[in-house]
């Protein structure tokens, strides 16, 4: 029945006479049929996700994108050097669901509430191999739900962290949930969790699985325990007070010695919380600062004065990189019609699927405008009465 419906949908969608709206309606009807399959309760959810993943492939082939809350069709044509737009809200939702899933959340949190954790096991006894099975099951279901909606590198990184098939993160970490060292430790201590929280460590007087220390770049820390590793993994995606964006940016400025060439002003509150790919955010920040410095050097401009701000608004959470003593190096028309090589690289490799990007600038000759460089709308200029400098807004 499942294969018949998929083949039927695929055959219909190949008809060029159908409009995009017609094709969208067909897909929605197919999804309803998928959910009406007569299956036993144990396998229903997994099979529905598999079929919906295949439908997502069909949607991408015909240029449609669907989500639980919104449907976008007939997006404006995309230049050849730019990717298909991915909504950053999907990444936030994916990471939020991962962080709150009853099984997966313990791969990015230490175990302190042992009673709640053990409810996932028969007889409330921790079994490592059983937990690995639960992790893989839940992650496959979650990742299939977001298939085609988020960047593959995120899913690949998490998969490597969970299974140990390859080093993960920019630090090329080899320790994972699939590590042979961890399996051996759990075999020697079969009922103990390898990543106890502080209360568990105090009460049971053990530190969990430990290994040779690992040095990290973005978080500037050393990790020598599995408890520390799961917290490090969480810090790759969760901006919050104890893992603020300000801390990451200050470390980056020190590492790259940006402070020597730029006068920074910081307005980066540390109590703003959101989920995203922090590594990509810092890469994007690095590229934008490099673009500013290159412009200043080539045009013999004065030392840049840059205001960094982070704030919440109705549009989401915005990181502003505002070069106040500058004008933009292109005309408004040129900026809209032709995306530069560096901007295209920024969009392709860092921005798409992580955040939107908006430019506000003084274009010279008393021309001021806001341009949506990378959003789900066709690129256009909105005139401004006046604007000082050049501002890049990364919107999450």
Low-confidence winner among 3-17, 269-283, 294-308, 316-330 (lowest mean pLDDT): 3-17
Return the pLDDT at 124: 87
**Inter-helix orientation angle 152-163/88-100, to 10°:** 20
Helical residues (DSSP H) of the chain, grouped into ranges: 2-13, 20-35, 41-62, 88-100, 114-118, 128-145, 152-163, 180-188, 198-204, 226-235, 245-256, 278-298, 332-337, 341-346
**Inter-helix orientation angle 41-62/2-13, to 10°:** 10
Residue 139 pLDDT more than 80?
A: yes
- Per-residue pLDDT tens for 205-246? 999 999 999 998 877 789 999 999 999 999 999 999 999 999
- Per-residue pLDDT tens for 143-188? 999 999 999 989 999 999 999 888 999 899 999 999 999 999 999 9
Residues 6+ apart with CB under 8 A from 103: 120, 131, 134, 135, 137, 138
Q: Alpha-carbon distance 47 to 360, whole Å?
A: 47
Question: Which structural domains are found in the chain, ordered by start?
Answer: 2-72 (no CATH), 88-236 (no CATH), 242-395 (3.30.565.10)
pTM for the whole structure: 0.78
- Per-residue pLDDT tens for 343-377? 999 999 999 999 999 999 999 999 999 999 999 99
Nearest to 346 by CA among 299, 275, 280: 280
- Per-residue pLDDT tens for 270-303? 999 999 999 999 999 999 999 999 999 999 999 9
Token look-up 């893989």 returns 136
Provide the b/e sequence for 284-317 (b: ≥16 CB within 10 Å): bbbbbbebbbebbeeeeeeebebbbbbeeeeeeb
Token look-up 């499942």 returns 2
Provide the b/e sequence for 23-51 (b: ≥16 CB within 10 Å): bbebbeebbeebeeeeeeeeeeeeebbeb
Bridge partners (DSSP) of residue 197 are none
Low-confidence winner among 32-41, 227-236, 333-342 (lowest mean pLDDT): 32-41
> Can you spell out the DSSP letters for 206-262?
----EEEEEE-STT--EEEEHHHHHHHHHHTTEEBTTB-HHHHHHHHHHHHTGGGT-
Q: Alpha-carbon distance 135 to 150, whole Å?
A: 20
Bridge partners (DSSP) of residue 306 are 264, 323
Residue 137: CB atoms within 10 Å: 12
């Amino acid at each position: 029945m499942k294969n018949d419906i998929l083949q039927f949908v695929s055959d219909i969608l190949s008809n060029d006479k159908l409009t995009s709206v017609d094709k969208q309606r067909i897909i929605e009807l197919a999804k309803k049929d998928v959910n009406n399959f007569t299956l036993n309760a144990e396998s229903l959810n997994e099979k529905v996700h598999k079929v919906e993943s295949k439908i997502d492939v069909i949607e991408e082939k015909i240029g449609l994108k669907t989500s639980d809350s919104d449907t976008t069709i007939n997006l404006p044509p995309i230049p050849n050097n730019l990717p298909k737009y991915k909504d950053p809200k999907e990444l936030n939702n994916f990471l939020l669901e991962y962080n709150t899933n009853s099984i997966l959340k313990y791969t990015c949190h230490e175990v302190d509430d042992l009673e709640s954790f053990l409810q996932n096991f028969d007889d409330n006894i921790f079994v490592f191999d059983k937990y690995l099975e639960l992790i893989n099951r839940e992650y496959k279901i979650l990742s299939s739900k977001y298939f085609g909606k988020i960047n593959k590198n995120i899913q690949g990184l998490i998969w490597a962290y969970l299974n140990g098939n390859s080093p993960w993160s920019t630090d090329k970490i080899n320790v994972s949930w699939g590590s042979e060292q961890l399996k051996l430790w759990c075999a020697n201590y079969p009922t103990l969790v390898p990543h106890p929280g502080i209360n568990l460590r105090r009460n049971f007087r053990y530190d969990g699985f430990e290994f040779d220390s690992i040095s990290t770049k973005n978080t500037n820390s050393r990790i020598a325990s599995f408890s520390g590793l799961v917290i490090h993994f969480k810090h790759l995606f969760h901006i919050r007070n104890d893992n603020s964006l300000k801390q990451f940016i200050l470390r980056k400025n020190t590492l790259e010695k940006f402070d020597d060439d730029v006068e920074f002003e910081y307005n980066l509150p540390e109590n703003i919380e959101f989920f995203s790919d922090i590594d990509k955010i810092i890469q994007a920040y690095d590229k934008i600062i490099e673009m500013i410095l290159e412009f200043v050097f080539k045009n013999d401009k004065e030392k840049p004065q840059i205001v960094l701000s982070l704030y919440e608004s109705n549009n989401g959470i915005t990181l502003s990189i505002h070069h106040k003593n500058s004008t933009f190096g292109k005309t408004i028309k040129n900026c809209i019609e032709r995306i530069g090589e560096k901007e295209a690289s920024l969009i392709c490799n860092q921005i798409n699927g992580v955040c939107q990007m908006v430019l506000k600038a003084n274009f010279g000759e008393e021309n001021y405008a806001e341009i949506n460089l990378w959003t789900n709308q066709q690129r256009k200029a909105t005139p401004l009465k006046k604007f000082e400098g050049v501002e890049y807004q990364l919107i999450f």
